[in-house]
């Protein structure tokens, strides 16, 4: 049965500035200096200019215009067209306003823009390798919903949501997919709700044949609509043709043993055993047991994923659906899928769209007992 689309006119969820969202730009690695230029004219207070270089100096900003330099406590830069921010040898364009203030000898940069404009960028960045339009519409709905349910995630930092995968990937108005822009427009205001509130619409790249119940991955999350679903027929899952559906990672034993000593045992103990000690009902590794002689240490795979990702790179362990073994001079991880495995499988959604399912049916497959509603946001 399809999720019913309900229309509602009341305003929901977005704080104060109706329809606007504040995105923290590069908040985890803020620059000390940035150049801002505008497609037309930049406006900041009474100042009009085409380009400014802003740097942090203690509790002040130093603004270097083409014809002068001045000190500021903060800056709010607006333009009728696009604004470009350049720092760390990279450059991106944005719509809306750019707010800057000093923070610990660096710049706190916030892009204030329309929610739907923000979503065009998020959908483009999150599913750039998908083909089918109904999958884009499904992604637009869940990205919008995910934004609203996380709207206060960075409230203490002065913005709503960040620009990296801690929240959702936002690259400004770079490489916007026409499909993404159209999907956002056609689904404007549509979100998934559970008992009248936005649902936690987790999503990931490739489920490997089956999604997991959220409480199996994050024991503190008790969302009944995020339960395990099979991604199509048992031997022909929807996401089976996705690049990276099957993966295999070999890590030199000496390097992995050093990792286990530094990050797991936190002592110079030889690694004599490694095994999956518990699995979720869907088959993902839940805990890993490290063995050194008579000494054992068990950690959750979620913790292992983050520790190993920072140590070996984020593509080394691509999902928790893996087996581990020793092979001569290597530790070998052999797995399926990419991502945490909860909620919508993006490549599965793309395959469903290829088979003729519409975005409503795709959403109903991955999320249970939710209502698709259209709100004026």
Residues 317 and 197 grouped into a single domain:
no
Mean per-residue pLDDT, 240-255: 97
Residues 131 and 224 grouped into a single domain:
yes
Residues 163 and 84 grouped into a single domain:
no
Residues 354 and 234 grouped into a single domain:
yes
Other beta carbons within 10 angstroms of residue 181's beta carbon come to: 19
Question: Is 145 within the bounds of a domain?
Answer: yes
Residues 121 and 188 grouped into a single domain:
yes
Measured CA to CA in angstroms, residue 81 lies from 35, 192, 219, 330 at distances of 16, 32, 46, 54
Residues 98 and 124 grouped into a single domain:
no
Q: Is the pLDDT of residue 353 over 70?
A: yes
The runs of H, that is alpha helices, within the chain are 115-126, 133-149, 178-186, 214-217, 253-259, 301-312, 346-354, 359-366
Most confident range (mean pLDDT) of 35-44, 225-234, 347-356 is 347-356
Question: Is 59 within the bounds of a domain?
Answer: yes
**Domain boundary pick from 305, 320, 336:** 336
Mean per-residue pLDDT, 111-135: 95
Which is it for strands 106-114 and 285-292: parallel, antiparallel or unpaired? unpaired
**Domain boundary pick from 104, 139, 163:** 104
Residues 255 and 304 grouped into a single domain:
yes
Residues 179 and 206 grouped into a single domain:
yes
Residues 196 and 212 grouped into a single domain:
yes
- Minimal CA–CA distance to 142: which of 353, 346, 376, 348? 346
Question: Is 12 within the bounds of a domain?
Answer: no
Question: Is 159 within the bounds of a domain?
Answer: yes
Question: Is 200 within the bounds of a domain?
Answer: yes
**Domain boundary pick from 47, 79, 104:** 104
Give residue 219's pLDDT band: very low, low, confident or very high (50, 70, 90).
confident
- Minimal CA–CA distance to 322: which of 332, 333, 314? 333
Q: Which helix (H) or strand (E) holds 195?
A: none
Question: Is 6 within the bounds of a domain?
Answer: no
Residue 240 C-beta-side C-alpha neighbours within 13 Å: 10
Residues 167 and 286 grouped into a single domain:
no
Looking at residue 374, what is its pLDDT? 94
Count of the separate structural domains present in the chain: 3
Mean per-residue pLDDT, 280-289: 97
Question: Is 42 within the bounds of a domain?
Answer: yes
**68 versus 251: which is more confidently predicted?**
251
- Give the structural domain span for 132: 117-238+340-376
Q: What is the pLDDT of residues 294-319, one digit of tens each?
A: 999 999 999 999 999 999 999 999 99
Residues 224 and 283 grouped into a single domain:
no
Average pLDDT taken over every residue of the chain = 93
Question: Is 8 within the bounds of a domain?
Answer: no
Q: What is the pLDDT of residues 48-66, one digit of tens each?
A: 899 999 999 988 999 999 8
Q: Is the pLDDT of residue 221 over 90?
A: no
Q: What is the pLDDT of residues 137-192, one digit of tens each?
A: 999 999 999 999 999 999 999 999 999 988 999 999 988 999 999 999 999 999 99
Give residue 8's pLDDT band: very low, low, confident or very high (50, 70, 90).
very low
Looking at residue 9, what is its pLDDT? 41
Tokens of 236: 């022909």
Residues 172 and 214 grouped into a single domain:
yes
Looking at residue 125, what is its pLDDT? 94
């Amino acid at each position: 049965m399809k999720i019913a689309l309900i229309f509602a006119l009341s305003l929901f969820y977005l704080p104060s500035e109706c329809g606007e969202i504040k995105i923290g730009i590069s908040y985890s690695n803020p620059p000390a200096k940035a150049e801002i230029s505008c497609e037309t004219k930049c406006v900041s207070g009474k100042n009009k200019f085409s380009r400014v270089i802003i740097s942090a100096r203690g509790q002040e900003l130093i603004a270097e215009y083409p014809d002068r330099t001045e000190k500021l406590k903060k800056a709010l830069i607006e333009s009728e067209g696009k604004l470009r921010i350049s720092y760390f040898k990279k450059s991106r364009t944005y719509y809306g306003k750019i707010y800057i203030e000093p923070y610990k000898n660096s710049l706190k940069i916030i892009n204030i823009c329309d929610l739907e404009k923000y979503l065009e960028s998020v959908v483009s960045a999150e599913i750039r390798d998908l083909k089918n339009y109904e999958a884009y519409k499904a992604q637009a709905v869940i990205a919008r919903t995910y934004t609203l349910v996380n709207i206060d995630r960075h409230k203490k930092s002065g913005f709503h949501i960040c620009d990296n995968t801690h929240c959702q990937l936002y690259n400004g108005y770079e490489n916007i997919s026409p499909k993404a822009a159209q999907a956002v427009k056609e689904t404007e205001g549509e979100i998934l709700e559970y008992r009248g509130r936005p649902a936690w619409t987790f999503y990931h790249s490739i489920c490997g044949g089956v999604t997991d119940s959220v409480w199996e991955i994050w024991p503190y999350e008790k969302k009944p609509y995020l339960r395990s679903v099979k991604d199509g027929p048992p031997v022909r899952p929807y996401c089976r043709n996705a690049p990276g559906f099957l993966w295999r990672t070999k890590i030199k034993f000496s390097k992995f043993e050093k990792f286990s000593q530094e990050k797991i045992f936190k002592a110079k103990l030889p690694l004599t055993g490694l095994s999956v000690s518990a699995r979720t009902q869907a088959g993902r590794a839940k805990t890993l047991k490290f063995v050194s002689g008579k000494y054992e240490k068990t950690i959750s795979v979620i913790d292992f994923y983050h520790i190993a990702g920072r140590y070996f790179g984020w593509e080394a362990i691509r999902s928790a659906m893996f087996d581990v073994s020793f092979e001569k001079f290597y530790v070998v991880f052999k797995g399926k899928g990419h991502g945490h495995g909860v909620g919508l499988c993006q490549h599965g959604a793309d395959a469903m769209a290829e088979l003729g399912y519409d975005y409503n049916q795709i959403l109903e497959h991955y999320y249970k007992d939710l209502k698709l509603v259209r709100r004026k946001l």
